Structure 1
């Protein structure tokens, strides 16, 4: 991967329309206004919802990764000759960086130059480890890297370079046992480097076997290639494979068509071999982002740059259309609005190409450009990188991003990475489910305990009794009472993912605020990220200070008062609890009041729940008794029901008093409804 401009990419609404389809279970569970400081967590049932809107800023699933490059010691190891302890400490620091930035995968280069970061019977130890090719580093780096990534529940994608042999042209500098020295006819010198000749069938078979050795022997999650197939062209110099074409090119009209077929076979066969060996291992490629320009081919993108189809014989569009790979991560390394290669245009084009296929679209991000000297002015704007991810939201085919490279993520020049994390990675995310790899969700885990202690809230659960579980997702919701039907639709309440180990699982929420009442839930995850149904929630009460949340239902004893003009109904299943109250509109002061014990003066979010019906009142007055006087909020009760709807945030006085009222005084027709309110301290 090179860093240059066009020749090569780099180096080394408040109203929800969904209706509740099942009753909220556990009606009438109401938070205590002054919860006890400790005690056993109570289980809370989870409601069922057919469909829910999501917050695009907190997606439930999103691949978030960074490349960790080993060639030329770009990222890791930082230099040759480090001790085992130093190498391992450096690698752990990269994983910890990924976790701090709420990433969920790393893409690590393990075969940079026809060598290996594991004890391979095919190729020598990489000289980027010790400084001397073929020298044992004293441990198995690949086994170590996979284990450390999985301990943090990060996916490990092993990054291989198929054909590059060396960053020089002297075959004798390779260790004497190197396959390139034993088979010099396999090797060509071009552009100051050595390459295996992609046109030789024995070469193709060998490099596949060398990579498959790692697939079979190690618990990797993915195989990843970058953009190096045939080498990037050197002006005026042809790749010296004319004799190979004469030997193997029968049936092809041009050497270019033959070269593309060689690469196509490499891709197609490797995908088949990977999935035959381990069906769950995904295969992804990160190519140069321009397949062809529309000026050359009407199927191409509206760009004007180097074409991978013609320059490096990578028919990337065909790989997608033939479903030979699981994901494609084009290196879209230009800014939005670039005159020759507009980021927005390339995301549009790749989204169109992947539509209707089983190939998922991930974007390779030029994080190395953000704030770096010598880059276009656009890259000196802290908004550029985060704007890329914002634009991606308008293309549902985009399932995530990979950042080049780890050292640039760490550098965080001009605060660009921190801005991405704030805007897009504010919560953890589950990985996308591969479209064609099968699998199914395990059973639900049993959350057996949730206990508050000095270190936070510690959760314990039992592994599901059915299905294959490799991890868990942990959710935390504020307050108590039944769980909102849409609470788990996106990632707003996701706080962690945990790798499965043994019959039980545990997690300590160190960020749980003292005094805050929470509900916790856990789901189980399959190897391919299918998610189980949630466990029953367990409520952990606060200690009386800090965040407070209370739900008051119309059936709450002492919490609701209304005149005899207010009837009671159970007709609509989208109600909260066992029933709701209704009345005809009339120009009289007849307010149904919800009262609550407010623990301290402060600002509180006020929400209401009602079942919606198209015949209900379109302008129902809701009164909020703030510490500075009543505020009236008009709500259209014909829509947006069956869920919590926010009236706003208001200053409330301490003590037990009326907080929210529903008034009959409105000129519009249709019943006004009073069902439940939720009050949460901010």
Structure 2
């Protein structure tokens, strides 16, 4: 991106499972009518719709937020740091960039893979990039793009492949291109302007070719997004017109001006590329990072209250139209000015872009000028350590903003004046899930099964099984402090989100090295879809702080481990319940057991406990069935008293495996509701 304009762009751009279920799914609550009156205990209760839970959240720990940085390859801005590095050196450098992203709790990288009509993969369309080896067309000895994607996914970072559609070279000499370069094979496609070479966007064959060249990477590699920056028609050179008059004469019929025709050419590029991407891989996002100003309000009443270069007019990019037409999935405008800038106020541009994206399916991500923070020669505002973090604080007042991308990786690492560290401390305190793209489909996978949580010298090691249903690409790991019921808002934001893990194979693992000795925790895991839909949680595993109990699982009635017939109602009537609700039914001589299932990690002896609210109108001898390895044991529980706490049914031999362990039966004489709320199983 060019930085020479009046308003500049950028340098070359180069647990408790019930509480989660209540959060994710609105529940219909059924309250027992005057359940303290035994005469009513056997009557059918009237349904009552419970109020929706309004959860306060900490804006510093959002549940979902895109956090990324650009990694530019053109001119070796970020990676590789120079040409001619060995394969091992290139790969080590790239891994260090990913480690930087993970260390700053980012969840995506935007990596430039087609910087100048070349490729960082073995493309059948274009030559190997010169920025790898120093010589265009020279094989680097491995497939960089395959490596880039695999390493990002191993850290559960989204990989957005960054392409430049029309730039051919940062010089004006076609003979420096490889002999078989498409620009030399088709010299009529090429234009020289401002000391650089470009494909002519007005030639239909060019548009098809560049789309095909980019789609080759989309089809062959497991990328998560296609990303373009702000280079369409080149930025204008004072007093020099882009030399496409002959092309306009050939293809511009029906357009009153060359400017309208140029915008039409770019519109077609954007619209068609989005269609091709989603036809090939519906889960791949298409995002564009345009120059921060579309038009000024002084020129167009639909524009922003700014007075800088207008991308609509200067580079023929009608970015507002692309958003309003939903041709792209996200827009990441380069809002590279400080708050209060006289020509382009950051606050004004965030307001304007929020208004443009409102009511569309396009997500708004802000491109941040990290390269300015603490750098010499910048406006004094950028010497203030709070400028960058203040941008993200301001973003919170605009719900359309779902994240930020930092330009660029080397500036994130430089952390001049501590600006990046301050931003991370203020806004990236905890990990975050990626936002779910609107209107893109997909659905949450089934819940995973958390099978073990074991404390050792290096922390707590977790193991889980992949969900049996749905498409899973990753997992979210949560840690809640303490034991006992937790309110329904505990997972409304990211305060308890510990990590995300890429899905590989039938099992998953994670080691919590930050678990404090002597502290009691509950862990749970959710499964994540490719488009970031989140499953219901696993049953929670308890890790006591005193070191007792190598395994403890809590299964709640609202979790995936509970099953019951439609005869069992759902109630929030008593506050001594576990979590947000419980199940109840009338006594009847039928085989209708409400079952709590659990994954028992190993054959052994386990303590089995139950939790229920208590009420004088409940039953005095509710049968609880424990499926032991030597047969089923029945324990009767008086649910009129002793509620709101764990009550021990006994210790029993249980066999390893996932099965129904504890059941609550309605087959009992007498009156009074029978209740099924929660079960805890602890290995002794």
Place the TM-score, normalised by the shorter chain, in its bin.
0.7 to 0.9
Which residue matches 1:332?
Answer: 335
Alpha-carbon distance in structure 2 between the residues aligned to 1:470 and 1:65: 19
SS in 1 for 2:353: helix
Alignment of 1:59-78 (within 5 A): 59-78=62-81
* Deviations 1:485-522, CA, capped at 9 Å, x for gaps: 11111000001000001111110001101111000010
Which residue matches 2:457?
Answer: 454
How far did 1:455 drift? 1.2
SS in 2 for 1:113: coil
Task: Give the alignment partner of residue 414 of structure 1, picking from 414, 417, 425.
Answer: 417
Q: Is the 8 A contact 1:109 1:160 kept in 2?
A: yes
Q: Is the 8 A contact 2:415 2:421 kept in 1?
A: yes
SS in 2 for 1:159: strand
SS in 1 for 2:388: helix
Alpha-carbon distance in structure 2 between the residues aligned to 1:313 and 1:274: 23
Q: Is the 8 A contact 1:8 1:232 kept in 2?
A: no
Q: Is the 8 A contact 2:7 2:343 kept in 1?
A: no
Alpha-carbon distance in structure 2 between the residues aligned to 1:383 and 1:237: 41
Which residue matches 2:295?
Answer: 292
Q: Is the 8 A contact 1:20 1:574 kept in 2?
A: no
SS in 2 for 1:157: strand
Q: Is the 8 A contact 2:110 2:227 kept in 1?
A: yes
The TM-score with structure 2 as length reference comes to 0.75
SS in 2 for 1:498: strand
Distance 1:485 1:527, change over 3 A: same
Alpha-carbon distance in structure 2 between the residues aligned to 1:578 and 1:527: 33
Which residue matches 1:489?
Answer: 492
* Deviations 1:305-327, CA, capped at 9 Å, x for gaps: 00000000000000000000000
Task: Give the alignment partner of residue 309 of structure 1, picking from 304, 309, 312.
Answer: 312
Alpha-carbon distance in structure 1 between the residues aligned to 2:361 and 2:8: 27
Alignment of 1:264-275 (within 5 A): 264-275=267-278
Is residue 2:204 matched to residue 1:216? no
Alpha-carbon distance in structure 1 between the residues aligned to 2:135 and 2:141: 13
Aligned residues: 530
Which residue matches 2:10?
Answer: 10
Is residue 2:499 matched to residue 1:499? no
Distance 1:542 1:236, change over 3 A: same
Which residue matches 1:44?
Answer: none
How far did 1:86 drift? 0.1
Q: Is the 8 A contact 1:23 1:575 kept in 2?
A: no
Alpha-carbon distance in structure 2 between the residues aligned to 1:312 and 1:425: 35
Alignment of 1:372-451 (within 5 A): 372-451=375-454
SS in 1 for 2:84: coil
Alpha-carbon distance in structure 2 between the residues aligned to 1:576 and 1:173: 78
Which residue matches 2:35?
Answer: none
SS in 1 for 2:159: strand
CA-based RMSD:
2.2
Distance 1:578 1:77, change over 3 A: closer
Distance 1:193 1:511, change over 3 A: same
Q: Is the 8 A contact 1:4 1:10 kept in 2?
A: no
How far did 1:3 drift? 3.2
Which residue matches 2:594?
Answer: none
Distance 1:5 1:237, change over 3 A: closer
Alpha-carbon distance in structure 2 between the residues aligned to 1:307 and 1:139: 42
Q: Is the 8 A contact 2:8 2:336 kept in 1?
A: no
Task: Give the alignment partner of residue 113 of structure 1, picking from 111, 116, 130.
Answer: 116
Alpha-carbon distance in structure 2 between the residues aligned to 1:166 and 1:383: 38
Which residue matches 2:203?
Answer: 200
SS in 2 for 1:110: strand
* Deviations 1:278-337, CA, capped at 9 Å, x for gaps: 000000000001000000000000000000000000000000000000000000000001
Alpha-carbon distance in structure 2 between the residues aligned to 1:263 and 1:2: 19
Q: Is the 8 A contact 1:443 1:467 kept in 2?
A: yes
Q: Is the 8 A contact 1:260 1:313 kept in 2?
A: yes
Q: Structure 2: which 5+ residue stretches go unaligned? A: 13-22, 31-49, 549-570, 580-612, 614-643, 645-684
Alpha-carbon distance in structure 2 between the residues aligned to 1:574 and 1:153: 42
Alignment of 1:148-227 (within 5 A): 148-227=151-230
Task: Give the alignment partner of residue 101 of structure 2, picking from 98, 115, 118.
Answer: 98
Q: Is the 8 A contact 2:323 2:357 kept in 1?
A: yes
Which residue matches 1:351?
Answer: 354
How far did 1:484 drift? 2.6
The TM-score with structure 1 as length reference comes to 0.76
SS in 2 for 1:416: helix
Task: Give the alignment partner of residue 141 of structure 2, picking from 138, 142, 145.
Answer: 138
* Deviations 1:115-172, CA, capped at 9 Å, x for gaps: 0000000000000000000000000000000000000000000000000000000000
Which residue matches 1:592?
Answer: none
Moved over 2 A (4+): 2-8, 18-24, 47-51, 571-574, 576-579
Which residue matches 1:556?
Answer: none
Q: Is the 8 A contact 1:22 1:573 kept in 2?
A: no
* Deviations 1:153-193, CA, capped at 9 Å, x for gaps: 00000000000000000000001010000011100000010
SS in 2 for 1:95: helix
* Deviations 1:345-366, CA, capped at 9 Å, x for gaps: 0000000000010000000000
How far did 1:542 drift? 1.1
